[in-house]
Amino acid sequence: MTRLELAEKSISLSRSERLMDNCFHGGAADVSSWIPVGNASWEVDDGALVGRCANGSLEHGQLFSAQTFAGDILLEFYAQTVLPSDHDIIWWWQTELTEDNTSWKRAYLGALGGWWSNRAGIERLDGEKEVMATTPLFKLEPGRKYKIHSGCIDGSSFIFVDGALIIEFKDPDPVDPGKALRIGFGVYRSTIRIEELTVYKPSWEAAPKSYSA
């Protein structure tokens, strides 16, 4: 697969610029400079980033990159829940943290198996201006490994799973694309495994559609 097709845009993976490669084979050093937020534990185990958040008082936690990225962004990675965990694979992009790095000011997050009812979707977190789009039509299979492409170009946020477009929405008030912002991963009472992360500056072109006469 070399292209990702959105409603009115076409992304070329082969022409996109690689901004980060992290295959998590270097052990803890691979994420030693990343920024933990919330209540979760993170470790690198056998070439994967593993995040854990137990049931009970530990509700959620995130791990954000030290490296920042400005403008359009595309994440590529493999993800799965670690059985018996069966929900909430979460990832973040265009994330601005607070000055003390204890929370976020604004961000986008994508999720599979989320929203308490095994839904896939995207949220923009921005104070009281939260926007959410979810679908029940993609169901997470616990323990199955998925290849995910997700991010934002020109205000359009999207999730592809195993090459298929799951959800896309155009944000009328997008997070400031000119700022240098972070990517990350998250858990919500779940345990997840992330492998072979690549971050791209996506190369894309307009691809308007029309009905033939």
pLDDT of residue 162: 97
DSSP state of 27: G
User: What is residue 158's predicted lDDT score, i.e. its pLDDT?
Assistant: 98
CATH topology for 3-204 is Jelly Rolls (2.60.120)
**In this predicted structure, what is the pLDDT of residue 1?**
63
Per-residue pLDDT at 179: 87
Mean pLDDT per 10-residue interval, the chain, length 213 residues: 90 96 78 90 92 71 94 97 96 95 93 97 85 94 98 95 96 83 95 96 92 78
- Report the distance separating Cα 179 and Cα 94, nearest Å: 8
What's the confidence (pLDDT) of residue 54?
Answer: 60
Please give the single-letter amino acid code of residue 125.
L
Q: Which residues pair with 181 in a beta bridge?
A: 69
Can you give the pLDDT at residue 9? Answer: 94
69 close to 188: Cβ distance less than 8 angstroms: no
| Beta-carbon contacts of residue 122 (< 8 Å; ≥ 6 apart) | 108, 109, 110, 111, 132, 133, 134, 157, 158, 159, 167, 169
Give residue 8's pLDDT.
92
